[in-house]
Amino acid sequence: MRVTIAILTLLCCVQFSKAQYAHFGRSGTISFDKIMYAKNIVAKQFIEKADDRSRGQFQQMLPSIPENITLKKTLKFNAQETSFEPQKGGDLDPRVKQLVMMFALDFDAQTLSTFSDRSYKRFNDIIGDKVIIQDTMKTMTWRITDEYREIAGYSCRRANGITPDSIYVVAYYTADIPVSGGPESINGLPGMILGLAVPSQHVSYFATKVELTDQVVIDKKVFDNKKTKVMSRSQIAELFKSTMSNWLNKQTIEYITELSLL
């Protein structure tokens, strides 16, 4: 009888541990859809801000631009760090990919955020140059609300935030994944961000699938190449100005810089 009770107690403990782990995962992989509202981006950020020499060209392109472009992204995380990167096998239609490249809307970047020292790295292939942006994680200002919504099977709470460069964001985080990370470099909430909208950038990120594991492998090889140029956020902003000023005005370049350094 005592043996039976001991076995039952052990089984209950195992099941409780599994349930607790499944409910409060500290490592895993999250699939995200990054949705760029392409027609709005071109109309609001390129045509409205364009000078006379380029406005006509953008206006001619507008009818052929899709309303939305969806890029597949993956967030790998554990208790120490997160990696946000392009999803393998998420190839775009060649014409859409050309639009993304032409308007510099996405650089297929991989970002690595480390919580212990709040370091931040971002590997990009920018205008033919491979660059690692090395800086610190952004310190966000958050206001948590009482609004909730379900994302990828998780109850998420809304928080309104401001980045250090004054960009307004709306995030939905879940306390069931107690890791203070999210898409790109957005962080600082008491749980993982599964939904993120950036109205001024006409872009949003929403999780489509969450897979919790006891460990996750984060590939950092792209950050180990000693030949890759290393720059800060401010230095990359200057690079954008110098390389894009021949065909885009200052306001549009600032938009592209903010979008790429989110």
Question: What confidence score (pLDDT) does residue 14 get?
Answer: 36
Whether 245 shows a pLDDT value over 60: the answer reads: yes
> If you average pLDDT over residues 143-163, what whole number do you get?
97
- Lowest-pLDDT range of 107-111, 150-154, 200-204: 107-111
Q: Please state the domain extents for the chain.
A: 27-260
Residue 91's pLDDT is: 67
Q: Kindly tell me the number of DSSP H helices and DSSP E strands found in the chain.
A: 6, 12
| Chain centre to alpha carbon of residue 116 | 20
Average the pLDDT over 124-128 and give the result: 75
| Burial of 260: CB neighbours in 10 Å, binned 0-12, 13-18, 19+ | buried
pLDDT band at 90 (very low <50, low <70, confident <90, very high): low
The closest of 29, 35, 33, 119 to 77, measured between CA atoms, is: 29
Only one residue has tokens 């020499």, namely 53
- The pLDDT of residue 61: 82
| More confident call, 15 vs 193 | 193
pLDDT given for residue 250 in this prediction = 82
What is the band of 3 on the pLDDT scale with cuts at 50, 70, 90? very low
Judge whether residue 127 has pLDDT over 70. no
Instruction: Match 């897979």 to its residue by tokens.
Output: 211
- In the CATH hierarchy, which fold is given to the domain comprising 27-260? outer membrane lipoprotein receptor (LolB), chain A (2.50.20)
Q: How far apart are CA 142 and CA 37, in angstroms?
A: 25
- Please, which pLDDT band fits residue 188 given cuts at 50, 70 and 90? very high
CA 5 to chain centre: 49
For the sheet with 81-86, list strands across it.
Answer: 141-151, 154-162, 168-174, 192-198, 203-212, 28-36, 69-77, 81-86, 110-114, 119-126, 129-136, 229-231
Helix, strand and coil percent figures for the chain, each rounded to 5? 30, 35, 35
Tens-place pLDDT, residues 14-57: 343 334 444 456 899 999 999 999 889 888 888 888 777 778 88
What integer pLDDT is reported at residue 15 of this predicted model?
40
pLDDT at 50: 78
Taking the CB of residue 201, how many other CB atoms lie within 10 A of it?
Answer: 20
pLDDT at 5: 42
Do 257 and 237 form a contact (C-beta atoms < 8 A)?
A: yes
- The pLDDT value recorded for residue 98 is 77
